[in-house]
Structure 1
């Protein structure tokens, strides 16, 4: 039987967290990161995953209500967590559009050294001019150019990591240290995106290079993952969609000389636990209503309608007016591309669904913006996760709790032991590095 992989996601920009719950904690204090990371390590999870945005989203000139203001830098948090964990992998989302290879390669090599081989990089791209305003280059790149830059960015970073051989060592001389070879770390790289040469000054990372994640779902993103990534942070956690996605990306691997086991598919997944399946279903309904407040429902509605709907009643029907199409949207940042199809067509679908089920605006938004992946008693959830993995829906899941930082506790206490009883989950960490614990080949 396949072994189940699990990881923990510390949410930041989403509609997963229940902010209003009295048990909800800070999303910026270091103690919250430590609490969730240590719980994940207690549960023998593979890694802790931290996403990052490069600009706070805006809507109608206001900060988007689901964004975290004041989130510390990803590398700073992960480096600090390396000191308070021992086995847990440390994965961070770092952008390839508005950063530079030398800097990112150096930061990840440093994190891998500080953590004794537990670093992972989720390689992402940015699409919008709004985010680009924070950077010297500004603007944005078309989709095909974004992925071309990402590929070349990763190739360049890999060349920097490989500029040190495994046998390159630092020798002590008095209070200083020196290299035995003068050309250690020497590199030169030229392509359509980068033209750099110099000397990389961080020794080869313990893993050779960090574990590479990819999170895009487009055809370009899937090809990038098949060619370059060790794992995919997928959004396909449902059975049918997950199996289709899994078969698609695994089927692309032979073209790049890779095996099925060289790429892990790890969808993000939410969960709600109860003593019984019925109790869990009741809790799940309440959680969804807390996740989508009236205010939040209006924000989602505005993203599609492209209108100021602040006076709209979230407990009433959908607006009678049609959405305003166009690229100049009232939502700035990632929120502005939540809907990729014709907004009028989507609005018509929403109206049909709302009328057929007599749903208010808020109830409709609850319905169309997603729901929990796994709902039930611990036994039900453990069984479902195992069934999904054995059926090639996924190789495991990156769990996103609706409460931070304590929302993972019951899963670790009640679900993990059941997976261990099924013989599909580890009882101890098998290796010292993240690459070893994920079962990936050495590089």
Structure 2
């Protein structure tokens, strides 16, 4: 049987966190990061994952305050977590559009040293000029150019990681000096994106290179992952969709001389647990209504309609007017806006759903934005996770709790032991590096 890989996602800029829960805490205070990371480590998860927010989202010209507001620097948090964890991998999203290879490679090599080989890098590209306004590199690149730059960025970073071979410096204690090879850390790279040369300042780290993760779902993103990534995030948590994604990405590996085992596919997943399946379903409905309050429903509606709908009653019917087609001027910094490639067709689908089920605006949004992957008793959830992995709908899951920082506790205490009893999840870490956790050595 396949061994299951599990990771813990610290919720970042999102509207799925239930702030009304008495156990909900800060997304800024370090204690929240520590709690979630240490819980995941106690449960023997592969890695803790921190997403990135380079600019706070806005809607109608104001910060979208129904999301989590505020995002600390990824490297700072991961470096601090390296001191309070021992075995769990520490991965973060770092953008290849607005950063430079030397800086990012130096930071990840340092993190890999600080954590004794537990660093992972989720490589992403930026798609909008709105985010670019925070950086010297303003504007945005077309999708094909974004992935071209990202792949070149990756190759350049690898040259920097590999500029040290591990034996360049030898301590001569008799003379009190260090002896180094002439080419220690030397690098030179010249292409249309980067024109750099010099010496890399960080000796080879325990993993050599950080584990590379990627999250693109487009054809370019899938190809980029097949060529360069060690793991790819997926948004397909159902059997049929998961298997289709799994098969498509894995078949691309051969053209790059890679085997199926060299790329792990990890869908993002949410979960709701209960004493019984019925209890979990009831709890899931309560959570969905907490996640999508009246104002949140209107904000989501505005993102599709591309107009101010603040005068509408969230408990009333969908607008009779159609969405404004063209550039979205209402919502800034939201990836979901890009998903509405045909707003008029999506609006028709929502109207048909509302009419068929007699749903209000809020009830429609609750249905169309549902993200609860696993709902049931611990035994049911453990069985569902195992069934999907064994059926090649994924190699594991990245779990996103709806309460921070304690939302993973129940899963760690109830579901993980059942997976361990089945023999499909580790009871102890076998290795010390993230690459070993993922079986990539």
Shorter-chain TM-score: what band?
Answer: over 0.9
SS of alignment partner, residue 184 of structure 2: coil
Contact 1:65/1:296 (8 A) holds in 2: no
Distance across 1 between alignment mates of 2:337 and 2:359: 24
The alpha-carbon deviation at position 337 of structure 1 amounts to: 2.5
SS of alignment partner, residue 224 of structure 1: helix
Distance across 2 between alignment mates of 1:102 and 1:128: 23
Distance across 2 between alignment mates of 1:175 and 1:38: 44
Q: Which moved more, 1:87-96 or 1:232-241?
A: 232-241
Contact 1:303/1:335 (8 A) holds in 2: no
Within a 5 Å distance, the mapping from 1:11-410 to structure 2 comes to 11-171=11-171, 178-335=178-335, 337-410=337-410
The alpha-carbon distance between structure 1 residues 172 and 344, as it changes in their structure 2 partners (threshold 3 A), is farther
Distance across 2 between alignment mates of 1:361 and 1:194: 49
Contact 1:288/1:371 (8 A) holds in 2: no
SS of alignment partner, residue 70 of structure 1: coil
Distance across 2 between alignment mates of 1:175 and 1:316: 82
After superposition, the C-alpha distances for 1:291-319 in whole angstroms (9 at most, x for unaligned) are 11111111110000000011111111101
Distance across 1 between alignment mates of 2:240 and 2:394: 11
Distance across 2 between alignment mates of 1:380 and 1:176: 63
The alpha-carbon deviation at position 70 of structure 1 amounts to: 2.9
SS of alignment partner, residue 86 of structure 1: coil
Distance across 2 between alignment mates of 1:144 and 1:230: 21
SS of alignment partner, residue 7 of structure 1: strand
Contact 2:3/2:425 (8 A) holds in 1: yes
The alpha-carbon deviation at position 159 of structure 1 amounts to: 0.2
Contact 2:123/2:215 (8 A) holds in 1: yes
Contact 1:16/1:400 (8 A) holds in 2: no
**Equivalent pairs, count:** 441
The alpha-carbon deviation at position 16 of structure 1 amounts to: 2.2
Q: Which residue of 1 aligns with 2:428?
A: 428
Contact 1:329/1:336 (8 A) holds in 2: no
The alpha-carbon distance between structure 1 residues 335 and 253, as it changes in their structure 2 partners (threshold 3 A), is closer
Q: Which residue of 2 aligns with 1:2?
A: 2
Contact 2:40/2:412 (8 A) holds in 1: yes
Distance across 2 between alignment mates of 1:161 and 1:174: 30
SS of alignment partner, residue 138 of structure 1: coil
The alpha-carbon deviation at position 127 of structure 1 amounts to: 0.8
The alpha-carbon deviation at position 179 of structure 1 amounts to: 4.3
The alpha-carbon distance between structure 1 residues 335 and 218, as it changes in their structure 2 partners (threshold 3 A), is closer
SS of alignment partner, residue 363 of structure 1: helix
Distance across 1 between alignment mates of 2:344 and 2:97: 31
The alpha-carbon deviation at position 65 of structure 1 amounts to: 2.9
The alpha-carbon distance between structure 1 residues 398 and 336, as it changes in their structure 2 partners (threshold 3 A), is closer
Distance across 1 between alignment mates of 2:335 and 2:65: 11
Distance across 1 between alignment mates of 2:26 and 2:297: 23
Q: TM-score, normalised by structure 2?
A: 0.98
Distance across 2 between alignment mates of 1:177 and 1:405: 48
Consecutive unaligned residues of structure 2, counting only runs of 5 or more, are: none
Distance across 1 between alignment mates of 2:147 and 2:304: 26
Consecutive unaligned residues of structure 1, counting only runs of 5 or more, are: none
Distance across 2 between alignment mates of 1:163 and 1:153: 15
The alpha-carbon deviation at position 176 of structure 1 amounts to: 7.4
The alpha-carbon distance between structure 1 residues 145 and 100, as it changes in their structure 2 partners (threshold 3 A), is same
After superposition, the C-alpha distances for 1:264-305 in whole angstroms (9 at most, x for unaligned) are 000110000000000000000000111111111111100000
Contact 1:94/1:124 (8 A) holds in 2: yes
Distance across 1 between alignment mates of 2:190 and 2:37: 39
Q: Is residue 2:413 matched to residue 1:418?
A: no
Distance across 2 between alignment mates of 1:98 and 1:395: 31
Q: Which moved more, 1:89-98 or 1:289-298?
A: 289-298
The alpha-carbon distance between structure 1 residues 285 and 413, as it changes in their structure 2 partners (threshold 3 A), is same
After superposition, the C-alpha distances for 1:98-137 in whole angstroms (9 at most, x for unaligned) are 0000000000000000000000000000010110111112
Q: TM-score, normalised by structure 1?
A: 0.97
SS of alignment partner, residue 272 of structure 1: strand
After superposition, the C-alpha distances for 1:402-426 in whole angstroms (9 at most, x for unaligned) are 0000000010000011001101010
The alpha-carbon distance between structure 1 residues 139 and 393, as it changes in their structure 2 partners (threshold 3 A), is same
SS of alignment partner, residue 122 of structure 2: strand
